[in-house]
Amino acid sequence: MRCAFPSVAVLLAAGLVLSGCSWIVGKPGKVVCPASFIAPDTDKLAVFKPGGSTMSDVRYGVQISYLQSKCTRADKGIHVNTQVSFRLVSNDKSLRADAFEYFVSIVDGYQNILIKKTYSVPFEFDARVHTLNKQDLVYSNLPLLDAGTANNYAIVVGLQLTEAQLQFNRSAARAPAVSVPPAPSVAVPAQPKSSASRP
């Protein structure tokens, strides 16, 4: 069965979790890992002071600074370990502790979000330091009959944003700048070949 849905970016923005498509069936092969991407416009988070909406009203900012996935074979499919690193900058000297959320999704070659989970990351600023680095490691399972077909999928990561925060990212004003190279845009993985076409 082939499923056709809107773009990955649209699905992520809507926060949908879709299912109903079959996993790939194929001959067992070597373990490969899905590519990892940051969803467009979700690499930064600006948290505003109450009633604020401009750059001068940003209380603190979060940016995804590093993303990498590693895979190992499992009894059914593969285990995917995704490491996500964050850089935080505070503009509010009174800020001590808070938390932010981010999501990790597995997307197939037809742009379906097969799995989406949201994670909370608590943090605490030192009274004398207003920058902070945080790391998180997420374990996912991709139940493939052929571990060698994992490159037909993608791991998509992003900060969980409100509509106002998403629009803020899309405008000229962004969250407080940190020295991190631009994150790659989502690239849709290659569509898998149907097992019915194999000899």
For residue 8, being part of any structural domain is answered with no
- Residue 196 counted as domain residue: no
* Reported pTM: 0.70
Give pLDDT, residue 29: 55
Q: In which domain, by residue range, is 39 found?
A: 23-183
Q: Over the stretch 77-90, which tens digit does the pLDDT of each residue have?
A: 899 999 999 999 99
Is residue 199 situated within a structural domain?
no
Torsion of CA 103, 70, 195, 10, to 10 degrees: 20
pLDDT of 192 reads: 53
Per-residue confidence (pLDDT) for residue 2, from 0 to 100: 30
Q: For residue 55, report the phi and psi dihedrals to the nearest 5 degrees.
A: -60, -35
**Which segments in the chain show pLDDT lower than 70?**
1-29, 172-199
Residue 9 inside a domain? The answer is no
Q: What is the pLDDT of residue 66?
A: 95
Q: How many domains are there within the chain?
A: 1
